[in-house]
């Protein structure tokens, strides 16, 4: 769920209605992309509710989990595309008690940003996101901009659904995976398969495992893994690598012939018994 507070200059009722529509489109895009970052293509974003003249609420159909680094990157990207203000405070609140699970502040002058280290995954649960803009004029009520935003959101959703459709039919035709111990690894489908059991992988888990499979029984430095999975996408992380390695180990633990081991101070190795 997302809450957005906008502080700006006074405007006419017609302009306010247009601004509200533009903001709702942008917030729905944030919600959709946050779900897609966790490979969730079925959950819905509940219609945005205007709580007060400058306060909006976005709810998700089901409990969610996400990496704060993904939230930071998605919000910044959508706000830039939608020409929303670049001074805002984001708070992730727990639904049951309203306590802050994570928060950060972005300012127009980057040296004033306050962004805690990422890497601590927000556990599955019900959350609201409060995004407050401070002392900035709201977006222009230009109808062309509004319809452009609508077009961009529809285009994004169309690309996502087309990709899923194309991947589905491609997999029906080829259906070839990479053998990893007792598993079959399907990087295009973000999943592991063991006998009849399918084990879904997040995008980052899939990228990490693909790197390990490319260099089996070799030490891969932490810096190399971090650069290829996170930094090349413009995201700076703290303990994200260790968190995702731990999740991969858990999903691979049923096969004793493969193991991801830690080389202290250097990196990780995917050990495969011959």
128, 163, 198 - which closes a domain = 163
Please tell me the predicted confidence (pLDDT) of residue 118.
Answer: 61
Q: Is residue 198 within 8 Å of residue 222, measured between CB atoms?
A: no
- Taking the C-alpha atoms of residue 79 and residue 71, their distance in angstroms, rounded to an integer, is 12
136, 163, 190 - which closes a domain = 163
- Asked, for residue 78, whether it belongs to a domain, the answer is yes
Q: Is residue 27 within 8 Å of residue 56, measured between CB atoms?
A: yes
- The strand order across the sheet containing 178-180 reads 178-180, 183-186, 191-194, 197-200
- Asked, for residue 170, whether it belongs to a domain, the answer is no
What the block records as the tokens of 60 is 């998700």
Q: Are residues 156 and 224 in the same domain?
A: no
121 pLDDT tier (thresholds 50, 70, 90): confident
Q: How does pLDDT run across 140-152, given as a tens digit for each residue?
A: 445 667 778 888 8
Q: Are residues 139 and 245 in the same domain?
A: no
Q: Are residues 25 and 90 in the same domain?
A: yes
Residue 162 vs residue 238, higher pLDDT: 162
Q: Are residues 95 and 19 in the same domain?
A: yes
- Asked, for residue 168, whether it belongs to a domain, the answer is no
Q: Are residues 139 and 252 in the same domain?
A: no
For residue 51, the SS3 value is strand
80 pLDDT tier (thresholds 50, 70, 90): confident
By residue range, what is the domain housing residue 99? 2-163
Number of domains in the chain: 2
Q: How does pLDDT run across 97-106, given as a tens digit for each residue?
A: 989 888 888 8
- Taking the C-alpha atoms of residue 173 and residue 160, their distance in angstroms, rounded to an integer, is 20
Q: Are residues 136 and 83 in the same domain?
A: yes
140, 163, 186 - which closes a domain = 163
Q: Are residues 86 and 196 in the same domain?
A: no
Residues 232-236: contacts with CB under 8 Å, at least 24 apart? 233/73, 234/73, 235/69, 235/70, 235/72, 235/73, 235/118, 236/69, 236/118
What the block records as the tokens of 234 is 């413009």
Q: What is the DSSP letter of 111?
A: G
CATH number at residue 262: 1.10.10.10
């Amino acid at each position: 769920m997302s809450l957005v507070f906008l502080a700006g200059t006074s405007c006419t009722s017609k302009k306010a209605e247009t601004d509200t529509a533009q903001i709702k489109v942008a917030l729905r895009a944030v919600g959709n992309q946050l779900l897609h970052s966790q490979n969730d293509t079925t959950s819905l974003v509940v219609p945005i509710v205007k709580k007060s003249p400058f306060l909006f609420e976005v709810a998700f159909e089901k409990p969610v989990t996400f990496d704060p680094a993904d939230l930071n990157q998605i919000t910044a990207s959508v706000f830039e595309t939608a020409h929303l203000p670049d001074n805002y405070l984001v708070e992730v609140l727990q639904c049951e008690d309203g306590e802050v699970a994570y928060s950060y502040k972005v300012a127009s002058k980057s040296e004033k940003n306050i962004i805690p280290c990422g890497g601590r995954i927000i556990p599955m649960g019900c959350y609201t996101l409060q995004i407050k803009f401070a002392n900035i004029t709201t977006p222009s009520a230009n109808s062309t901009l509004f319809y452009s935003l609508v077009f961009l959101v529809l285009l994004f959703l169309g690309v996502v659904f087309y990709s899923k459709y194309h991947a589905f039919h491609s997999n029906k035709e080829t259906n070839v995976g990479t053998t990893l111990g007792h598993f079959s690894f399907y990087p295009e489908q973000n999943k592991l398969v063991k006998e009849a059991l399918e084990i879904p992988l997040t995008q980052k888990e899939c990228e990490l495992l693909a790197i390990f499979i490319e260099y089996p029984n070799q030490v891969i430095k932490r810096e190399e893994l971090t650069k290829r999975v996170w930094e090349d996408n413009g995201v700076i992380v703290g303990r994200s690598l260790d968190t995702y390695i731990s999740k991969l180990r858990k999903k691979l633990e049923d096969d004793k012939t493969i193991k991801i081991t830690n080389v202290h101070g250097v990196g990780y190795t995917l050990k495969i018994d011959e």
